[in-house]
């Protein structure tokens, strides 16, 4: 261990092993992942996010929402005789999703923000759970108004407080006097807030696909031949 | 620390060595590294202070969400990454590079080459960090954990690094002491690994982007390697040097050090992608296996340190500077064990998205990395100033602030994470109540971050004082221009 070049060589080789194994290997496997075909309808999943939602993803990134909110459903499949019975785990039981997240859910996103810590709720399917735009806007303005006891900060800087001229504008938040609305003033969402809500509403990763089927509703089935094939692993590719 | 030891008790040939042209004495080596190393120490201390302040603000927001929430650039999701990046790139990487440069010159018995270029590169590095922290606060963060600095700052950082790294390698190449002490292996390895990791992030995430979940794989892999193969080896290099110095004994076993080094090189490069992440299962499995096997490297290091200090613990502990190294190495051991245990515990139980991960990374950064680097700064700075009788003040106080702070920041989060995980697994419990269970732990963490901030203030004052003293002793008594000419002209 006194010969410099030998140490360099060892250091580079051991690291190259990791780089080629983990990074290059997974790029070979997933680098060209295409939208999946939904078995039930034959349509493609996922669709690219519409313009406002794509802008909203930038707001989500800029304000670091992912430091408290994850976007990944984790669940273990329970399989009986080759058929998916149900998914185990708190995420599904909590109603955050009906199936685990898989690689295909994220192919259109840049950056992908799955998060690593659940100080707030998981948002992988928030667009399924809460479809009301006004609810989301009010929640961003002051979370405690719609979710008492919430530990989320308010995002007042995404809103504009304006003096009401003659009458309230159409998109002003419908805040009651006891929710802290000052008389003579109205709270109007800035374009950033509207875009962020469009992004949140676009978070719907529930489509059952080949590698992540949804469990069938318990009902008598005559034959197994048409049932959805089951893959327990969320590996994402064939 | 016994900074008065001028001859190197660690190397086999302690006397100054005859070179091709001249005899290089320790005093000359120290004088050549004075300007770049002290500059990096001062700027690192500044960023540590800034990062600790931002970290405290972020910590307060965890239990008082409306604190400063009306200002967009102070929202939690910007302050948290700004704090982490300021500490990782501004403080830890910079102080680590300074220690590395000093170690290479000291152990290799060579004058620091291109000190003027290094000074310029250090300024570039700090411009990069400032642009990055500012960019994150302005909302330009990239969204990849640990690599939030936007492209316009990371490019500057990489250029700064390449110059600092290149001249460290040139200094290494011209060494007159041919036997390589373990610290040298770690420094050289870290200098190779960092540009690879950082360039991978820039090319595959920031300047262009791989598809879908590949981003998670690249970011997780790189985030792990930034800690495990960049910061850790730099810090281990310092620990390997200063521990035997403090004990006034040679390192217990060179063979064990070789073993630990290659274990780190082989297993340390895997991690950061926990099981349950929506990526191919083999990726998470490889990452988890690497984390568990990587504990062997931690154990090899800890055993070596323990056997070196055996019998002299009490004497070494009474030295205020050496406390930093002992506590830091202890934190390294604890982090390694917690990571391995949580991997094993997470098998078949994937819902582990709790605050434990944040607690473990805080223990790594504030316990292991910061403690050892602060200890190294306190040991090195008096040697660089010509007034060696000057001692840093309140070192003991700084140790207790930094050490207790690190424990109070990390341990509540680690324990609170287990409580949170249990609660998350119980779907009957309302989510708001799950969050409420973690609030007391966050409160204790804020107290810890306050201690860390006060500790960072003591460090900043001390480092500034030393730089001022050594500036007085060199630049007022000597002409600065001739000094630089002398340095860059030597050893060519």
CB interface of B with A, residues 72-131, below 8 Å = 72, 75-78, 80-81
Residues B367, B2: Cα–Cα separation, whole Å: 23
CATH classification of B26-489 is 1.20.210.10, yes or no?
A: yes
Q: What is the DSSP string of B8-34?
A: -SSSS--SPPB-SS-BPPHHHHHHHHH
- The pLDDT, as a whole number, for residue A220 is 52
Query: Buried b vs exposed e over B95-112: b needs ≥16 C-beta within 10 Å?
Result: bbbbbbbbbbbbbbbbbb
Residues B235, B325: Cα–Cα separation, whole Å: 10
Query: How many Cβ atoms sit within 10 Å of the Cβ of residue A51?
Result: 10
Residue of A nearest to B433 (CA): A149
Query: How many Cβ atoms sit within 10 Å of the Cβ of residue A17?
Result: 14
Q: Locate tokens 């221009």: which residue?
A: B481
Query: In this model, does residue B14 exceed pLDDT 60?
Result: no
Interchain contact, B214 vs A4, CB within 8 Å: no
| pLDDT tier, B477 (very low <50, low <70, confident <90, very high otherwise) | low
Residue of B nearest to A69 (CA): B353
- The pLDDT, as a whole number, for residue B385 is 77
Q: Which residues contact B180 (CB under 8 A, 6 or more apart)?
A: A1, A2, A4, A7, B107
Q: Locate tokens 């709270």: which residue?
A: A187
Which pair of tokens denotes residue B36?
């770049």
For residue B172, list chain A residues with Cβ-Cβ distance below 8 A. 4
Residue of B nearest to A63 (CA): B77
- The pLDDT, as a whole number, for residue A177 is 72
- The pLDDT, as a whole number, for residue A39 is 75
Cis omega (within 30 of 0) on the bond before A46? yes
User: Do B455 and B402 touch, CB atoms closer than 8 A?
Assistant: yes
Interchain contact, B213 vs A112, CB within 8 Å: yes
B142 vs A: CB within 8 A: yes
Residues B318, B380: Cα–Cα separation, whole Å: 19
Instruction: Pick the more confident residue, B183 or B390.
Output: B183
Residues A185, B278: Cα–Cα separation, whole Å: 46
pLDDT in tens, B244-287: 999 999 999 999 999 999 999 999 999 999 888 899 999 999 99
Query: In this model, does residue B292 exceed pLDDT 60?
Result: yes
Query: In this model, does residue B109 exceed pLDDT 50?
Result: yes
Residues B192, A8: Cα–Cα separation, whole Å: 8
Query: In this model, does residue B366 exceed pLDDT 90?
Result: yes
When the pLDDT of each residue in chain B is averaged and rounded to a whole number, the result is 89
The phi, psi pair for B23, rounded to 5°, reads -95, 125
pLDDT in tens, B59-77: 999 999 999 999 999 999 9
Q: Closest partner residue to A94 among B196, B221, B427, by Cβ?
A: B427
pLDDT in tens, B149-169: 999 999 999 999 999 999 999
A88 vs B: CB within 8 A: no
B276 vs A: CB within 8 A: yes
User: Do A200 and A123 touch, CB atoms closer than 8 A?
Assistant: yes
For residue B258, list chain A residues with Cβ-Cβ distance below 8 A. 1
Residue of B nearest to A96 (CA): B427
A103 vs B: CB within 8 A: yes
CA atoms within 13 A on the CB side of B461: 12
Gap from A20 CA to chain B (nearest CA, Å): 11
Instruction: Average the pLDDT over each of A221-225, B310-314, B450-454 and give the range with the smallest value.
Output: A221-225
From first to last of its 238 residues, what are the pLDDT tens digits of chain A? 788 899 999 999 999 999 999 999 999 999 999 998 887 788 899 988 999 999 999 999 999 999 999 999 988 888 888 888 889 888 899 999 999 999 999 999 999 999 999 999 999 999 999 999 999 999 999 999 999 989 999 999 999 999 998 888 888 998 877 776 778 899 999 999 999 999 999 999 988 888 888 887 655 544 444 444 444 444 333 3
Instruction: Pick the more confident residue, B376 or A237.
Output: B376
Residues B256, B303: Cα–Cα separation, whole Å: 9
Which pair of tokens denotes residue A74?
């984790």
B69 vs A: CB within 8 A: yes
- The pLDDT, as a whole number, for residue B352 is 72
Pairing of strands A76-80, A44-45: unpaired
Residues B154, B152: Cα–Cα separation, whole Å: 6
Query: Most distant CA pair in chain A: distance in Å?
Result: 83
Q: Closest partner residue to A61 among B80, B143, B218, by Cβ?
A: B143
Residue of B nearest to A237 (CA): B280
Query: In this model, does residue B11 exceed pLDDT 50?
Result: no
Q: Locate tokens 């295909």: which residue?
A: A104
Q: Which residues pair with A224 in a beta bridge?
A: none
Interchain contact, A11 vs B192, CB within 8 Å: yes
Question: Sign of the CA dihedral B11, B16, B18, B21?
Answer: positive
End-to-end CA distance of chain B: 33
Stretch B174-203: mean pLDDT: 95
Query: In this model, does residue B348 exceed pLDDT 70?
Result: no
Residues B492, B487: Cα–Cα separation, whole Å: 10
Residue of A nearest to B81 (CA): A64
- The pLDDT, as a whole number, for residue B298 is 97
For residue B210, list chain A residues with Cβ-Cβ distance below 8 A. 27, 31
Gap from B325 CA to chain A (nearest CA, Å): 25
Which pair of tokens denotes residue A32?
């060209």
The proportion of chain B whose per-residue pLDDT surpasses 90, expressed as a percent, equals 76
Stretch B302-321: mean pLDDT: 93
Task: Please report, for chain B, the start and end positions of each structural domain, with discontinuous segments joined by +.
Answer: 26-489
Q: Estimate to the nearest angstrom the gap between the alpha carbon of A92 and the chain centroid.
A: 14
Residues B216, B17: Cα–Cα separation, whole Å: 51
Q: Locate tokens 């929202």: which residue?
A: B75
């Amino acid at each position: 261990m006194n010969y410099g070049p030998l140490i360099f060589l060892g250091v580079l080789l051991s690291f190259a092993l990791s780089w080629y194994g983990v990074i290059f290997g997974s790029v070979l496997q997933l680098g060209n992942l295409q939208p999946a075909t939904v078995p039930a309808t034959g349509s493609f999943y996922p669709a690219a996010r519409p313009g406002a939602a794509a802008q909203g993803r930038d707001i989500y990134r800029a304000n670091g929402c992912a430091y408290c909110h994850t976007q990944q459903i984790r669940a273990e499949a329970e399989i009986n005789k080759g058929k998916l019975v149900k998914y185990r785990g708190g995420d599904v039981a909590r109603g955050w999703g009906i199936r685990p997240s898989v690689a295909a859910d994220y192919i259109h996103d840049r950056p992908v923000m799955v998060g690593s810590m659940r100080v707030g709720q998981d948002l992988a399917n928030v667009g399924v759970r809460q479809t009301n735009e006004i609810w989301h806007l009010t929640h961003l303005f002051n979370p405690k108004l719609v979710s008492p006891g919430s530990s989320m900060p308010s995002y007042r800087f995404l809103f504009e407080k304006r003096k009401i001229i003659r009458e309230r504008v159409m998109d002003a938040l419908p805040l009651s006097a006891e929710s802290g609305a000052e008389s003579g003033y109205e709270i109007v969402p800035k374009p950033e807030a509207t875009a962020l809500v469009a992004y949140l509403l676009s978070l719907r990763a529930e489509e059952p696909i080949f590698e992540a089927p949804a469990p069938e509703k318990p009902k008598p089935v005559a034959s197994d031949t048409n049932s959805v094939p089951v893959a327990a692993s969320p590996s994402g590719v064939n | 620390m016994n900074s008065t030891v001028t001859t190197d008790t660690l190397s086999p040939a302690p006397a100054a060595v005859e070179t091709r042209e001249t005899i290089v004495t320790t005093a000359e080596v120290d004088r050549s590294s004075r300007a770049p190393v002290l500059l990096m120490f001062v700027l690192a201390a500044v960023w540590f202070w800034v990062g600790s302040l931002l970290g405290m603000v972020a910590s307060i927001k965890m239990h008082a969400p409306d604190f400063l929430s009306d200002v967009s650039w102070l929202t939690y999701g910007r302050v948290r990454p700004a704090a982490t990046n300021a500490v990782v790139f501004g403080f830890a990487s910079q102080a680590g590079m300074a220690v590395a440069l000093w170690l290479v010159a000291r152990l290799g018995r060579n004058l620091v080459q291109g000190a003027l270029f290094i000074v310029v590169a250090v300024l570039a590095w700090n411009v990069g960090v400032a642009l990055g922290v500012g960019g994150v606060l302005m909302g330009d963060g990239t969204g990849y954990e640990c690599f939030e600095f936007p492209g316009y700052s990371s490019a500057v950082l990489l250029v700064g690094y390449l110059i600092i790294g290149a001249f460290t390698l040139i200094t290494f190449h011209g060494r007159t002491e041919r036997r390589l002490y373990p610290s040298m292996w770690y420094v050289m390895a870290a200098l190779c690994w960092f540009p690879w990791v950082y360039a991978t992030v820039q090319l595959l995430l920031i300047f262009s982007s791989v598809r879908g979940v590949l981003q998670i794989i690249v970011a997780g892999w790189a985030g792990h390697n930034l800690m495990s193969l960049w910061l850790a080896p730099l810090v281990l290099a310092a620990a390997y040097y200063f521990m035997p110095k403090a004990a006034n004994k040679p390192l217990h076993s060179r063979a064990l050090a070789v073993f630990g080094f290659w274990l780190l090189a082989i297993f340390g490069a895997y991690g950061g992608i926990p099981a349950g992440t929506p990526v191919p299962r083999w990726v998470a499995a490889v990452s988890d296996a690497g984390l568990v096997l990587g504990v062997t490297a931690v154990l090899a290091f800890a055993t070596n340190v323990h056997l070196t200090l055996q019998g002299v613990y009490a004497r070494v502990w009474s030295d205020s500077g050496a406390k930093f190294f002992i506590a830091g190495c202890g934190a390294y051991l604890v982090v390694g064990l917690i990571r391995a245990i949580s991997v094993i515990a997470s098998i078949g139980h994937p819902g582990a998205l709790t605050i434990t991960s944040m607690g473990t990374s805080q223990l790594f950064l504030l316990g292991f990395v910061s403690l050892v680097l602060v200890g190294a700064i306190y040991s090195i700075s008096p040697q660089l100033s010509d007034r060696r009788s000057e001692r840093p003040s309140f070192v003991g106080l700084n140790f207790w602030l930094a050490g207790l702070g690190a424990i109070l920041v990390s341990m509540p989060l680690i324990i609170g994470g287990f409580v949170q995980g249990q609660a998350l697994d119980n779907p009957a419990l309302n989510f708001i109540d799950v969050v409420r269970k973690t609030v007391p732990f966050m409160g204790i963490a804020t107290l810890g971050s306050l201690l860390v901030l006060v500790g960072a203030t003591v460090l900043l004052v001390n480092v500034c004082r030393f730089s001022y003293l050594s500036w007085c002793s060199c630049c007022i008594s000597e002409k600065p221009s001739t000094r630089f000419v002398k340095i860059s002209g030597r050893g060519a």
